[in-house]
Structure 1
Amino acid sequence: MREILPVLSGWYASGVPFGLATVVSVSRSAPRGPGAAMAVGPAQEVVGSVSGGCVEGAVFELAQEVVADGRSRLETFGYSDDDAYAVGLTCGGEITVLVRPVTPELDPAFGAVAEAVAAGDPVTVATVTDGPARRGATIAVRPDRLVGSLGAAGLDAAVTADARGGLAVGATGLRHYGPGGERREDAVSVFLHSFASPPRMLVFGAIDYAAAVARIGDFLGYRVTVCDARPVFATPRRFPPGVEVVADWPHRCLRATATDERTVVCVLTHDPKFDVPLLEEALRRPAAYIGAMGSRRTHDDRRRRLEQAGVTERELARLRSPIGLDLGARTPEEVAVSVAAEIVALRWSGSGAPLTATSGAIHPARGHAS
């Protein structure tokens, strides 16, 4: 939902009702994960997607209905072995979608969610999907405050505790609570949709490839920083808007930058005096991905230098070098696609093989989509 929030914020500020559909659970080979969203606004304008096209027509109709009568709906789409639901998914899975009307009066928490996401701050929106509480009731949970209510103090307290526990990693999914907030499978169902702060992409070396990697990193939702020790190359005008550009020695910049298990590090400096101290630092701190550009000869030389610097085999095993998947890439833009493909494959445990050469579910079980 993150990508459509700017449009939704405009509708919300105008006070015009809109219908918001959110995937709250999936099974088998569903095309979009929990948290995927689609909205129908003024003049029947549609933004977002819940299924990649399979059930959007039915969801469009539901969104118009909930705006008209003010009542939220919970609908399952797809086919099981025994029961045919409202609409079949061509991919063969099932998705359950909550469709609810949104206005400042009906959802006072929505503004706080949009504000936090726009600022890059962590926030969880918790929405009742089923049970004795009002379906569609929402609260916005931030680290320092709570906006809205689900209708019971005990329920608010339990949901807030769970939401704050998952904020750092953006945990998303259904939880079940009793009327006093106790964990129970047979009571109130609440969908927690967490928006963690955007993950970091750190690109070192302000060469032409860096601009393309920074652009695709921004497209994938990373907060991108490009660093180069040479001020003549480390200039903002050479990079996409919104990308932070730092003129400093790479290892010193990284040492001053917080990283976590979602951080991506792309080393494009291609020079031992930059690469070795930078990778010494990178390979000993949290990161989801550490890749370095260069030929196989460059990689072998770099590896020897790192071993001489005391980097262990276990630490070296984290290094993706040469960077990217084997796509035959030549241009900076093609190389950026290769790097992004490797990052995505690693994130979701993909093989990188052509889908025609694989079998089984195309979309394996996954955690969340925001």
Structure 2
Amino acid sequence: MVLATVVQTQGSVPREVGAKMLIGSDGFTFGTIGGGAGEAKVIRQAEQVLETGQKQMVIVDLTGAAHRDTQGICGGMMQVWLERWTGAAAQTLAQQILMRLETGQTATLVIPFESNQSPYLVDTDVGVLSGSAINDENTFIGTLQPPPTLLIVGAGHVGMQLAKIADMIGFQVMVQDDRSEWANSQHYPQATKIFAELTTALTDLATHPQLFAALVTRGYQYDLAALTGLLQRPIPCRYIGMIGSKKRVRQVLQTVEQNGISRSQLQSIYAPIGLDIGALTPEEIAVSIAAELIWVQRGGSGRPLSEKSD
């Protein structure tokens, strides 16, 4: 495989520093560094790296300048580092990265630009977000974050559709519901864990650093139990959203507050859940919730891009 890593950007570009893509000798690719002509150029150069083993930096010019060979008109430029990963050492390093990420730990990867040095892991994080990086003329250092986990409480129609979309956008999906006829691997093939008991789920995820929770339950009492437990975690959830009418939401929040949860904690709840896109069907509601998850995770404005000024 060749690992393509965006190591520097300037101006408007489709992907951030740290974005990665794998290119295999059989034409297989995984991930993207932005698509279009720029990515096609990177893939062509990666084929050379696969053959020769010689690392190289590729400049993707997206300025649209008439006097240059540009690969797009986004307005900026990207530097993409290409390096072949092969053999037992690369396999071991890949396994070490996976082991850390799968257990909820970060993995800080150092990529030397020197021809006689190979990538390696260090124990110090360089940032808190995926793609956080430090680079100079000789080295690129980037911290990979484990995938955020979405706990779906309530395994009904909305939950099933939300699991599909959440998995697609990079969340590790877990589900909790006491009804085995709903909460099962047939309905939730994306789920890495399915919990029958809420207490088990809360205990298992008590110290998870990146927990998002979507409460799409079948009733008031289930919302109340889940919300109370999630707000008492030692590590606050990145996101808690709760489905329901404004009346149901108000009743749940009032009861939780009466049970000793502070009002400031309740202000962090996204309820009713999702962005206002006029969603009606379970599929549309799932899209609305997923959009809110991305909004919270990435820090967007939530407004139409057509209203955004340059």
TM-score (norm 2): 0.86
* Contact 1:54–1:90 (8 Å) recurs in 2: no
* Structure 2 counterpart of 1:283, from 227, 231, 235: 231
Q: Which region of structure 1 is more displaced relative to structure 2, 258-267 or 295-304?
A: 258-267
Partner Cα separation in structure 2 for residue 82 and residue 98 of structure 1: 23
- Who is 1:9 aligned against? none
Partner Cα separation in structure 2 for residue 215 and residue 207 of structure 1: 13
Deviation at 1:232, TM superposition (A): 4.0
Partner AA of 2:21 in structure 1: M
Deviation at 1:198, TM superposition (A): 2.5
- Who is 2:109 aligned against? 125
Cα RMSD over matched residues?
2.9
- Who is 2:219 aligned against? 271
- Who is 2:118 aligned against? 137
**Partner of 2:195: helix, strand, or coil?**
strand
Query: Relative contact order (C-alpha < 8 Å, sep 6+): which is higher?
Result: 1
**Partner of 2:72: helix, strand, or coil?**
coil
**CA offsets 1:237-272 (integer angstroms, 9 cap, x no match):** 221244421111x35532442244521011112422
- Who is 2:169 aligned against? 220
- Who is 2:7 aligned against? 24
Partner AA of 1:297 in structure 2: K
**Partner of 2:36: helix, strand, or coil?**
coil
* Contact 1:67–1:101 (8 Å) recurs in 2: yes
Deviation at 1:213, TM superposition (A): 1.3
**CA offsets 1:8-56 (integer angstroms, 9 cap, x no match):** xxxxxxxxxx433221122332111223233443354544321221402
Partner Cα separation in structure 1 for residue 12 and residue 304 of structure 2: 17
* Contact 1:72–1:136 (8 Å) recurs in 2: no
- When residues 254 and 125 of structure 1 are mapped into structure 2, their CA distance, relative to the original with a 3 A threshold, is same
- What 5-or-longer segments of structure 2 have no aligned partner? none
* Structure 2 counterpart of 1:234, from 154, 169, 183: 183
- Who is 1:174 aligned against? 134
- Who is 2:251 aligned against? 301
* Contact 1:76–1:85 (8 Å) recurs in 2: no
* Contact 1:204–1:266 (8 Å) recurs in 2: yes
- When residues 169 and 50 of structure 1 are mapped into structure 2, their CA distance, relative to the original with a 3 A threshold, is closer
Equivalent pairs, count: 305
Deviation at 1:80, TM superposition (A): 6.8
**Partner of 1:269: helix, strand, or coil?**
coil
Question: Given the alignment of the two structures, is residue 313 of structure 1 paired with residue 296 of structure 2, yes or no?
Answer: no
**Partner of 1:109: helix, strand, or coil?**
helix
* Structure 1 counterpart of 2:138, from 189, 214, 237: 189
Partner Cα separation in structure 2 for residue 103 and residue 86 of structure 1: 32
Deviation at 1:316, TM superposition (A): 0.7
TM-score (norm 1): 0.73
Partner AA of 2:300 in structure 1: G
* Contact 2:177–2:195 (8 Å) recurs in 1: yes
- Counterparts in 2 of 1:24-103, with a 5 A limit? 24-78=7-61, 87-103=70-86
Partner Cα separation in structure 2 for residue 70 and residue 338 of structure 1: 45
Deviation at 1:307, TM superposition (A): 2.0
**CA offsets 1:103-160 (integer angstroms, 9 cap, x no match):** 217xx2344314642772443332113xxx3376212x2xxxxxxxxxxxxxxxxxx2
* Contact 1:224–1:243 (8 Å) recurs in 2: yes
Deviation at 1:215, TM superposition (A): 1.7
* Contact 2:108–2:144 (8 Å) recurs in 1: yes
Partner AA of 1:211 in structure 2: M
Partner Cα separation in structure 2 for residue 73 and residue 84 of structure 1: 24
Partner AA of 2:32 in structure 1: S
Partner Cα separation in structure 1 for residue 290 and residue 24 of structure 2: 33
Partner Cα separation in structure 2 for residue 241 and residue 270 of structure 1: 21
- Counterparts in 2 of 1:356-367, with a 5 A limit? 356-360=306-310
Partner AA of 2:227 in structure 1: L
Partner Cα separation in structure 2 for residue 90 and residue 49 of structure 1: 18
- Who is 1:183 aligned against? none
**Partner of 2:226: helix, strand, or coil?**
helix
Q: Which region of structure 1 is more displaced relative to structure 2, 222-231 or 340-349?
A: 222-231
Partner Cα separation in structure 2 for residue 322 and residue 90 of structure 1: 40
* Contact 1:284–1:315 (8 Å) recurs in 2: no
Q: What percentage of residue pairs aligned between the two structures are identical?
A: 28
